Amino acid sequence: MLSRSIDAHELYVRIGHHLSAMPARMEAYSPEKQVWISKAVALVEAVGDLVDMGRITEVAEWYPTHPAIYGPSVWGILQRALARAELAAPAATSGAFLPVGNAMDAMSAIGKVLKEARSRLLIVDPYLDETILTDFAPMGAEGVKIDLLCDGASVKATLAPAVRRWSAQYDAKRPIEARTTGARLLHDRLIIVDDAKVWNVSQSFKDLAARSPASITVVPAEVAVLKIPAYVDMWTAAAPL
């Protein structure tokens, strides 16, 4: 009996991360690959497709003695599980798992979140640089104020001139403000939409999915109600960039 249920959003992200960690040369047996397959069995079972549940169970049983036959088939089974989990997940979740090197998918996933805002976006990232404006912010709607909160000791020197150029180009059409906190006060990377909904971004925007898989996940409501006022207070106390 499982200790807790798993929703489609979490399952989608977990399968994506597991796929990204798939060992090379599955046709050659090793104990580590057997462990990876065992975890894949649990994920496919959680999706619930009976045909693929039977297939992945067969793979796990026969892989130690026939790895060349059964090892390569795991990829297709997990890809189908990922697709099913994505269909079952909320619309905003689609594409929330970002494999390494998928810069376009990263832009698309962040863009979906930014487009939800109607009045304000508070973007939190200790290591912000100009990438937040060149790659992501233009996908938000006109008239939505963009507030950038970064770490005074970690923010990149390229952010301030980018903010000035953004303001000169867009002015009131796309209002923007950047502030810095004290050193090492920020640890999260968040998008807070209209002071009502929080998304967690697993990596800094400047490096999103560049060197390792990334994910963009909705923060549960019971946690969001604590984070929102905390970060609004940090914004109020922060210094202009």
DSSP states of 102-132 as a string?
-HHHHHHHHHHHHTT-SSEEEEE-TT--THI
CA end-to-end span of the chain, whole Å?
Answer: 52
Residue 228 makes CB contacts below 8 A (sequence gap 6+) with 192, 195, 196, 198
Rounded Cα–Cα distance for residues 160 and 158 (Å): 6
Helix (H, G, I), strand (E, B) or coil at 194: coil
User: What digits encode the pLDDT tens for the residues 192-215?
Assistant: 999 999 999 988 999 887 777 788
Higher pLDDT, 113 or 96: 113
The answer to whether 212 touches 226, Cβ cutoff 8 Å, is no
Task: Tell me the pLDDT tens digit for each residue of 182-192.
Answer: 988 998 999 99
pLDDT at 91: 56
pTM of the model: 0.70
Q: What is the CATH architecture of 98-240? A: 2-Layer Sandwich (3.30)
Share of the chain above pLDDT 70, in %: 93
**Cα separation values, 235 from 1, 115, 157, 178, 215, Å:** 44, 22, 20, 9, 25
Confidence band of 159 (pLDDT split at 50, 70, 90):
very high
The average pLDDT across 59-75 equals 95
